[in-house]
Each structure stands twice: as C-alpha cells, then as structure tokens.
Amino acid sequence: MEDSRLKPRPSDHFLHALAKHIIEQCIDHEVGRIAIGDLSKIREDENGDSRNWGKRGNKKLHGWESDRFTRLLEYKAEEHGILADRTSERDTSKTC
C-alpha cells in the first residue's frame, strides 16, 4: 500500500508556480518586502470557537490552501532575501 503523503497533490504545481511568479515579479521590480494577509484565524470566531458556515461553506473553507501557499511564498521570499510580513486582514474590507 502506498503512502498517500508521498503523492503530490494536484494543486502542488500551481501553488509552486504561483509563488515563484510572485517572487520573480518582486525581484524584477526590486521589491524587498511583501505583506501577506494572515488568514490563520479565519476558521474561528472572535471567541476562538470554530465558525459554522454550514455544510457546503465549511467544506469550501477547509479546502483552502491559504496556509500552505503562505508558507511556500515565505520560503521562496526568504531564499531571495525578500522579507515577508504576515499582516492581519481584520477589517480590511470595511469602508471608512
């Protein structure tokens, strides 16, 4: 029986290619620091309890690759001397 952890996921290539493209753009434009939205608490409400978005909403939310992509982007940025700061997304979609 094969270990499923060793098989690449279909999204692996896409996430690596996207992170590589972003870092290449940073290098081309001499960007030394990038801000990455910190979505680590997106699955929790203000009390730290799990949010319930309903059956379909929960499935979609838990299928997001945001943490994985963020780690890839941070890794690739560090390789090229680019600082990557995680920034809170709280209230960024509200208008003044």
Q: What is the pLDDT of residues 7-56, one digit of tens each?
A: 666 678 888 999 999 999 999 999 999 999 887 777 777 787 877 778 88
- Are 15 and 67 in contact by the 8 Å Cβ rule? The answer is no
- Measured in whole angstroms, the distance separating CA 84 from the mean position of its chain's CA atoms is 12
What 3-state DSSP class applies to 86?
Answer: strand
- Are 84 and 77 in contact by the 8 Å Cβ rule? The answer is yes
- Please tell me the pTM assigned to this model: 0.69
- Report pLDDT digits (tens) over 48-62: 787 777 888 777 776
Task: For the chain, list the strands marked E by DSSP.
Answer: 33-38, 83-88
Rounded mean pLDDT of the chain?
Answer: 82
